[in-house]
Structure 1
Amino acid sequence: MTSTTATAPEAAPFRLFDLAVLRTRRLGPSILRITLGGPGAEGFSSGGRDQSLSVLLPRPGQREPVAPAGGSGTWTGKWRALPEDVRTVARSYTVRAQRLRADGSTEVDLDFVLHGDGGPASRWAMTAAPGDRLKVLGPTVADNAAVRFRPPAHTDWVLIRADETALPAAAAALERLPTGLPARVWLEVPHTEDRQALNTAAKARISWLVRNEGAVCDVEAVRAAELPGGTPYAWIAGEASGVRALHHHLVRERGFEPARVTSAAYWRRGLSAEQAREVEAKTQTQT
């Protein structure tokens, strides 16, 4: 599976931000929005679109997550050196939105998917309340290497395919598309009530694939579609096997140039985040 973008910047600085929960809002049965901020948010700079960061969650019994200081270049090694039963739980999330308020303070929205398996992020999110604290390893400049949605020059239309874990990224990317740019969009969610009103100036045709309504949610949903002519750019994200299958369809069957397809596996079916990282590390070692 190839993951490519237009010319990306050099790796930009990332650092730890100490954030507080300001408020929470349920967006549907499966999705909870948590707004973070406080004095520790100063200097946070999201690039929008599919801006990713690492959320560091406290373990049960901890008031705050235990994490070493440092930027992205030194933090990971220090974090791994901590005892496993002490170090914070790390999960990757997308910034849904960042706002600068009239008083100069910053707010950051993160949308949490409430998984039925009760993973650590879901458990934390469901009990989060104003004043609760967590840390994020986030960007300090907007044009950073953790933004991967980058349509190349001379793109005539855009294809977006995302499941609920990638919905915040897809929604943020739609908001940044140029006025009138054609877009074909497939968004998969568990329940009818998980659908959201989306803002975009693009000429977007959005198809909601709702699993509890029996929608066809695999690659067949795109395979059956008549796509626009011209030069495309595709961004596909979500469960690894589905992303891989759709990438194959677009490149091998539809003839998309690999350099015009960005693929992002946000999770792997049947594996925890830790197990998925181990699989990815073994794969990289073997290749």
Structure 2
Amino acid sequence: MSRQQPRELTVINKTLVTPNMLRITFGGENIHTIPEDQESGYVKLIFPREDQKSLFRTYTIRYQRDNEIDIDFVLHEDGGPASTWAKNAQPNDTILVGGPGPKKLIEESADWQILVGDMTALPAMSVNLEKLPQDAKGYAIIEVISEDDIQALQHPSGIELKWVVNPHPGENSSFLVDQITSLPWPKGSVSVWAACEFASMRALRSFFKNDTNIEKENLYISSYWKLGSNEDQHKEVKRIDSEEMA
């Protein structure tokens, strides 16, 4: 999260994008404290608790307009505080929002690109696809919970979108790797952008580092969540994993 002090934003609207993804539009008098050009950057939603440390939950800015931002929430049956808050949010509700943090965009200089992620990464993947040059080539492998969660996305015609349905995200760590290994591998240099559940991330990282010749500067890979863990627990697991990889 940046040094910008958290600000109170107001719920303007909410829209069900697909059965398992809810979009909330935020605005209000403090919206201009968020700098321009922050799509795919992350913010921290802050949930104060009496006599306890506030909860922080990380989300991507999907769209940004002059006086509004959109944030997409994946809806889970056993939703945490953020998705539960989003389901119950009504216009004029307010919430503290910190950030934004840095954008993570795929390297464009390679001969082709591959983007891979689950629904938690779909907002950031969507922005990446929109910002790629129109002559970009490659694949985007997008894991969704159901066929009804497939969205129309703006993307270069040379990027093939491959939607794969997994009703139980996070339970099979090799699911996304299996999708990638089944694809033809074009010649030339490749850049990768990947984000998903922690165990799936580790499987992808192992594949890209050990079974391909991708240069380090062309590989961005991150875990956005961990099955069975809340964000605070996931953050600690990521810290330990990062130290082990150093």
Same-fold call, TM cutoff 0.5: yes
Does residue 1:225 correspond to 2:191, yes or no? no
1:70-108 per-residue CA deviation (whole Å, 9 max, x = no partner) reads xxxxxxxxxxxxx42xx43210111101012xxxxx110
Cα distance per residue 1:181-239 (max 9 Å; x no partner): 113110001011111000123521000011249xx933111011112221111000010
Which residues in structure 2 correspond to 1:225-264 (within 5 Å)? 225-264=183-222
**Shift in Å, 1:12:** 6.2
Q: Deviations over 1:109-128 (max 9, x none)?
A: 00001112121111101101
Name 2:55's counterpart in structure 1.
89
Q: 1:56 aligns to what SS in structure 2? A: strand
Give the direction of change, closer, same or farther, for the CA distance of 1:58–1:127 in structure 2 (3 Å limit): farther
The residue aligned with 1:42 is: 32
Supply the distance in 2 between the matched residues of 1:36 and 1:211 (Cα, whole angstroms): 30
Q: Distance in 2 between matches of 1:279 and 1:208?
A: 29
User: C-alpha root-mean-square deviation of aligned residues, in Å?
Assistant: 2.5
Unaligned runs of 5+ in 2: 169-173
**In terms of mean alpha carbon deviation, does 188-197 or 269-278 score higher?**
269-278
Pick aligned residue for 2:146 from 191, 204, 207: 191
Q: Once the 2 structures are TM-superposed, how far is the Cα of residue 282 of structure 1 from its aligned partner?
A: 4.5
Matching of residues 262-277 of structure 1 within 5 Å: 262-277=220-235
Residue type of the alignment partner of 1:267: W
Aligned CA distance change for structure 1 residues 190 and 57 (closer, same or farther; 3 Å): same
Mapped to 2, the partners of 1:173 and 1:16 lie a distance apart of 26
Structure 1's unaligned 5+ residue stretches are 1-10, 63-82, 101-105, 140-144
2:2–2:99 contact (8 Å) kept in structure 1: no
Q: Which amino acid aligns with 1:132?
A: D
Q: In structure 2, how many angstroms separate the alpha carbons of the residues matched to 1:19 and 1:227?
A: 45
The 1:14–1:155 alpha-carbon spacing in structure 2 relative to 1, beyond 3 Å, is: farther
Give the whole-Å Cα distance in 2 for the aligned partners of 1:150 and 1:13: 25
Asked if the contact 1:159–1:184 (Cα under 8 Å) also holds between the matched residues in 2, the reply is: yes
Structure label with greater radius of gyration: 1
- State the TM-score, normalizing by the size of structure 1: 0.77
Q: For 2:160 and 2:150, how far apart are their aligned partners in 1?
A: 15
Offset, 1:283: 4.8
Give the aligned partner of residue 69 of structure 1: none
Cα 1:159–1:282 shift into 2, 3 Å? closer
The answer as to whether partners of 2:39 and 2:64 remain within 8 angstroms in 1 is no
The percent of aligned pairs where both chains have the same amino acid is 31
